Amino acid sequence: MGLRRVVVTGLGAITPLGNTVPDFWNALLNGVSGADLITKFDTTKFKTKFACEVKGYKSEDFFERKEARKYDLYAQYGLIAAHEAVVDSGIESEKLDRNRVGVIWASGIGGLETFLKEISDFAKGDGTPRFNPFFIPKMIADITAGHISIRYGFRGPNFATVSACASSANAMVDAFNYIRIGYADAFVVGGSEAAVNEAGVGGFNGMHAISMRNDDPKTASRPFDRDRDGFVIGEGGAGLIFEELEHALARGAKIYAEVAGGGLSADAYHMTSPHPEGYGAMLSMQAALKDAGMQKEDIDHLNTHGTSTPLGDISEPLAIVSLFQEHAYKISINSTKSMTGHLLGAAGAIEGIATVLAVQNDIVPPTINQFNLDPEIDAKLDFTFGQAKKRIVNAALTNTFGFGGHNASIILKKYKG
């Protein structure tokens, strides 16, 4: 029995650039930065005082007060993004076999805000354990997948993937594989993260991982720039509907793009640093091409991991040139993290949406905040600096990498029947 084809039939997002997919996409094309001073807590004593926050968010706009109390902010973002994707796709139809629709929802950290609050309250008390009964269910990284399945009655495979910043890309590869081997007909797949709080910012400051460009937050996320000083932490969620092709056609679903292949690998090198030559990244891209049955010359666009970290921004271009050779210079490369910041476990899904829309619309969003290209990075590569580029995008690859050496690459292509 041959593998079944998988397509994308729905999109949903809540991001630092906009709280719906159309708003997000429009901001990407216009090169808008989502970075600004943090509003969620007092940053007076913190080395970094800015982030890419979701703007204008009020939980009461989406949830009843009693319901919202059951959800950590990361789960709220997940439910909102998943709902937009479900509505966009029409997958909630009563005519569907809900036993064949699954949910794989990722988070790199999970309910950090809940954990921070509960432990802080305990530490300030007299030692009596007065913990909220929702503490554990709100905190755990798998709970959003459960909430989504409960809301829509989707009884197919249901779990979370956790591989740091590669988490939601891993989720997409898993959903792709489960559908094509016949375990399910469709998945709500994606990820969400809400780590813009004292623990998240303080923890990444302690690692020297995030930018401290407090005098100019909007230019702080500057992938591939000589003067980059770390990533900008972001928050939000993104969801996609992956669906078996014949199932989608039978219900008259619109099709954004086809999922062509996925690749996974490990650096097996260091806890937080990438392989200096990008060997693991090269392996995941190579595996995705092989899985898709495609040649390197078939790739028109590549959405990089591109975090604006000193080491990662050197190793990934090396991996691209190592794999694609001369064709690397014909690929329109970008880093949407220059605008969104780094959504951690949700990064793969939000960049998956950006890649789907690039394929559908034949336009590549820009990489902003490029002032001086790092001399260690190949200047012949096209990083789509400054403004969006219109070009035919028949197939695109998106990369996401995580602490621990986790690498995930996904290829999306035009659906051509």
CB count, 10 Å around CB of 48?
22
**pLDDT tens over the chain, length 417 residues:** 689 999 999 999 999 999 999 999 999 999 999 999 999 999 999 999 999 999 999 999 999 999 999 999 999 999 999 999 999 999 987 788 999 999 999 999 999 999 999 999 999 999 999 999 999 999 999 999 999 999 999 999 999 999 999 999 999 999 999 999 999 999 999 999 999 999 999 999 999 999 999 999 999 999 999 999 999 999 999 999 999 999 999 999 999 999 999 999 999 999 999 999 999 999 999 999 999 999 999 999 999 999 999 999 999 999 999 999 999 999 999 999 999 999 999 999 999 999 999 999 999 999 999 999 999 999 999 999 999 999 999 999 999 999 999 999 999 999 998
Nearest to 90 by CA among 152, 181, 145, 148: 152
Helix 312-324 crosses helix 279-292 at what angle (to 10 degrees)? Answer: 40
Q: Which pLDDT value is given to residue 1?
A: 60
- Residues 6 or more apart whose Cβ sits within 8 Å of residue 141: 106, 107, 108, 109, 110, 111, 160, 162
Which residues are known to be catalytic? 165, 305, 342
DSSP structure string for 375-415: TTS-TTSB--BSS-EE---SEEEEEEEETTTEEEEEEEE--
For residues 339-364, b (16+ Cβ closer than 10 Å) or e, as one string?
bbbbbbbbbbbbbbbbbbbbbbeebb
Name the DSSP class of 275.
Answer: P
At position 270, the amino acid (one-letter code) is H
Rg (alpha carbons) of the chain, rounded to whole number: 20
Nearest to 113 by CA among 136, 143, 131, 139: 139
Query: Distance between CA atoms of 413 and 260, rounded to whole angstroms?
Result: 6
Q: Which pLDDT value is given to residue 95?
A: 80
Q: Which pLDDT value is given to residue 85?
A: 98
List the beta bridge partners of residue 291.
Answer: none
